[in-house]
Structure 1
Amino acid sequence: MSARLFSILRVLMANEKPVTSEYIAQLLNVTSRTIRDDIKILDRILQDFGANIQSIRGIGFQLIIDNDHEFRSFLNQKLNEQTVPNSPEERITYLIKRFLLADSYLKLDDLCEEMHISKSTIQNDLRSVKKIFKQYNLSLQQKPTYGLKLYGNEVKMRFALSEHIFDRSEPISKTTWIKQLAQITEISLEELEKVWSIIIKEIKVNQIYLSDIAINNLFIHIIIAYKRIKDGHYVSLIHQDLKEIKLQKEYQVALSIVRKTETILEIKFPDVEIAYITIHLLGTKMVKQSKLTETEFENILEKQTQVLTTKILDLIEAKMNLGIRHDQELIIGLGLHLKPAINRYKYGMNIRNPMLNDIKLNYPVAFEAAVMAGMVLDNEINVLIDENEIGYIALHIGAAIERKKLKTGPKKCFIVCASGLGSAHLIKYKLQSVLGSQIQVMGTTEFYQLKQIPFSEIDFIISSVPIQEKLPCPVIVVNTILSETDLDRIKTHLNKRTETINDYIKEEFVFLNQTFPTKESALQFLVNQIKTKMSLPDNYLDLIYEREEVAPTAYGNLVAIPHPITAQAKETFLTICTLQKPINWSNKRVQLICLLNVEKDGHKDLEIMYKGLIKVIEDPTIVQQLIQARNYSEFIKPLLQLYS
Structure 2
Amino acid sequence: MMKLSFQRLDDILNYLITQSSPVTLDALSKLTKVSGRTVRSDIKSINELISKQGAEVFLIRKKGYLLSYHNKKIFEDFWNNKDTGTFLFTSSESRVQYLLRIFLTSDSFITQDFLLSVLFVSTNTLYNDFRTVKHLLADYQLSIVNKSNLGYRLEGEEIDIRMAINQLIFQENLTDFITASNTREKDLCLNIDFQKFSFFFEKYLNKIVQKDSDYFHKNAFSGILLSFSRIKEKKIINNFDLNPSLKEKVKKAILDFLRASEDEFKIVIPEVERRYIIYLLTENFPNLLFDNNNKENMLLAKQIVNDVTFDLFQLTKSRWTLDEGLKLSLIDHFNRLLNIHQIKSTRNNPILDVVKNDFPYPFELAISQVQKIEKRYDISLTEDEVSYIALYFASAIENSNDNVLTIAVVCGTGKILSSIIEGRIRKKFPYTFSEIKKLSYLEYEELENKNKYQIVVTTIQNKNLAKKNVIFFDNSNLDKSFKNIEKRIKEINLITISNRHFNPSHFMVIEEKKSKETVLEEISNILYKDKSVTVDFFNDLLAREELSSTVINDSIALPHPLNDSVVKSTIFVAVVPRGLEWDENTNVKFIFLLAIKSNEVEELQNVYDTLLDFIYSNDKQESLIKNPNYNNLLNIFT
TM-score by length of 1: 0.66
Q: Match for 2:235 among 219, 232, 255?
A: 232
Q: Indicate conservation of the 8 Å contact 2:176/2:182, yes or no.
A: no
Aligned pairs for 1:469-488 within 5 A: 486-488=448-450
Question: What residue in structure 2 maps to residue 213 of structure 1?
Answer: 215
Q: Indicate conservation of the 8 Å contact 1:255/1:274, yes or no.
A: no
1:225/1:331 CA distance change after superposition, 3 Å: same
Bigger mean CA offset, 315-324 vs 229-238 = 315-324
Aligned pairs for 1:243-254 within 5 A: 245-246=245-246, 249-254=249-254
Q: Match for 1:361 among 346, 357, 362?
A: 357
Measured after TM superposition, the shift of residue 220 of structure 1 is 1.2
Measured after TM superposition, the shift of residue 176 of structure 1 is 7.7
Aligned pairs for 1:587-602 within 5 A: 587-602=585-600
Q: Indicate conservation of the 8 Å contact 1:312/1:373, yes or no.
A: yes
The secondary structure found in structure 2 opposite 1:302 is helix
**Partner Cα distance (1:258, 1:159) in 2:** 21
Measured after TM superposition, the shift of residue 403 of structure 1 is 1.7
Question: What residue in structure 1 maps to residue 81 of structure 2?
Answer: 76
The secondary structure found in structure 1 opposite 2:504 is strand
Q: Match for 1:561 among 558, 562, 574?
A: 558
**Partner Cα distance (2:526, 2:230) in 1:** 53
1:123/1:215 CA distance change after superposition, 3 Å: same
CA offsets per residue over residues 255-312 of structure 1, 9 Å max, x none?
Answer: 233223333322122233333333333333378xxxxxxxxxx969521222222233
Higher relative contact order (CA 8 A, sep 6+): 1
1:350/1:611 CA distance change after superposition, 3 Å: same
1:96/1:258 CA distance change after superposition, 3 Å: same
Question: What residue in structure 2 maps to residue 634 of structure 1?
Answer: 632
CA offsets per residue over residues 379-425 of structure 1, 9 Å max, x none?
Answer: 244443333332222222211111214x869979xxxxxxxxxxxxx
Aligned pairs for 1:39-438 within 5 A: 49=53, 75-78=80-83, 82-84=87-89, 86-87=91-92, 95-104=99-108, 129=133, 131-138=135-142, 150-174=154-178, 178-187=182-191, 191-206=193-208, 208-229=210-231, 230-238=233-241, 241-242=242-243, 245-246=245-246, 249-285=249-285, 301-405=297-401
**Partner Cα distance (1:112, 1:123) in 2:** 11
Q: Indicate conservation of the 8 Å contact 2:297/2:338, yes or no.
A: no
Aligned residue identity for 2:321 = R
Question: What residue in structure 2 maps to residue 421 of structure 1?
Answer: none
Question: What residue in structure 2 maps to residue 544 of structure 1?
Answer: 541
Q: How many residue pairs align between the two structures?
A: 510
**Partner Cα distance (2:155, 2:72) in 1:** 50
**Partner Cα distance (2:351, 2:502) in 1:** 31
**Partner Cα distance (1:70, 1:124) in 2:** 28
Aligned residue identity for 1:515 = E
1:375/1:213 CA distance change after superposition, 3 Å: same
Question: What residue in structure 2 maps to residue 419 of structure 1?
Answer: none
**Partner Cα distance (2:576, 2:214) in 1:** 42
1:97/1:302 CA distance change after superposition, 3 Å: same
Aligned residue identity for 2:255 = L
Aligned residue identity for 2:588 = V
Question: What residue in structure 2 maps to residue 534 of structure 1?
Answer: 531
The secondary structure found in structure 1 opposite 2:356 is helix
Question: What residue in structure 1 maps to residue 32 of structure 2?
Answer: none
1:392/1:603 CA distance change after superposition, 3 Å: closer
Q: Indicate conservation of the 8 Å contact 2:220/2:284, yes or no.
A: no
Aligned residue identity for 1:499 = N
1:112/1:606 CA distance change after superposition, 3 Å: farther
Percent sequence identity over matched residues?
21
Bigger mean CA offset, 66-75 vs 100-109 = 66-75
**Partner Cα distance (1:110, 1:538) in 2:** 57
**Partner Cα distance (1:402, 1:362) in 2:** 13
**Partner Cα distance (1:3, 1:524) in 2:** 48
CA RMSD in angstroms, aligned pairs only? 4.5
Question: What residue in structure 1 maps to residue 603 of structure 2?
Answer: 605
CA offsets per residue over residues 303-325 of structure 1, 9 Å max, x none?
Answer: 12222222333343344444333
Aligned pairs for 1:440-459 within 5 A: none
Question: What residue in structure 1 maps to residue 42 of structure 2?
Answer: none
CA offsets per residue over residues 551-586 of structure 1, 9 Å max, x none?
Answer: 322222522222233453223332222223234434
Q: Which runs of 5+ in 1 are unaligned?
A: 7-44, 52-65, 288-297, 413-434, 437-457, 461-482
**Partner Cα distance (1:345, 1:2) in 2:** 48
Aligned residue identity for 1:317 = F
Aligned residue identity for 1:332 = L
Q: Match for 1:523 among 502, 509, 520?
A: 520
The secondary structure found in structure 2 opposite 1:581 is strand
**Partner Cα distance (1:177, 1:573) in 2:** 51
Q: Indicate conservation of the 8 Å contact 1:254/1:277, yes or no.
A: no
CA offsets per residue over residues 228-278 of structure 1, 9 Å max, x none?
Answer: 32242315333xx42x52566544443233223333322122233333333
Question: What residue in structure 2 maps to residue 622 of structure 1?
Answer: 620
The secondary structure found in structure 2 opposite 1:602 is helix
Measured after TM superposition, the shift of residue 365 of structure 1 is 1.5
1:555/1:48 CA distance change after superposition, 3 Å: farther
Q: Indicate conservation of the 8 Å contact 1:370/1:390, yes or no.
A: yes
Q: Indicate conservation of the 8 Å contact 2:544/2:560, yes or no.
A: yes
Question: What residue in structure 2 maps to residue 42 of structure 1?
Answer: none
**Partner Cα distance (1:581, 1:357) in 2:** 24
**Partner Cα distance (1:631, 1:409) in 2:** 31
Q: Indicate conservation of the 8 Å contact 2:297/2:335, yes or no.
A: yes
The secondary structure found in structure 2 opposite 1:234 is coil
Aligned residue identity for 1:178 = N
Measured after TM superposition, the shift of residue 85 of structure 1 is 6.3
**Partner Cα distance (1:341, 1:353) in 2:** 13
Aligned residue identity for 2:605 = E
1:96/1:561 CA distance change after superposition, 3 Å: farther
**Partner Cα distance (1:73, 1:91) in 2:** 19
Question: What residue in structure 2 maps to residue 430 of structure 1?
Answer: none
The secondary structure found in structure 2 opposite 1:508 is helix
> Which is greater in Rg?
2
Bigger mean CA offset, 330-339 vs 627-636 = 627-636
**Partner Cα distance (2:536, 2:150) in 1:** 45
Aligned residue identity for 1:186 = L
Q: Indicate conservation of the 8 Å contact 1:286/1:336, yes or no.
A: no
Measured after TM superposition, the shift of residue 532 of structure 1 is 3.4
**Partner Cα distance (2:186, 2:329) in 1:** 36
Aligned residue identity for 2:187 = Q
1:186/1:113 CA distance change after superposition, 3 Å: same
Question: What residue in structure 2 maps to residue 290 of structure 1?
Answer: none
Measured after TM superposition, the shift of residue 212 of structure 1 is 0.8
Q: Indicate conservation of the 8 Å contact 1:138/1:153, yes or no.
A: yes
Q: Indicate conservation of the 8 Å contact 2:349/2:385, yes or no.
A: yes
**Partner Cα distance (1:362, 1:523) in 2:** 24
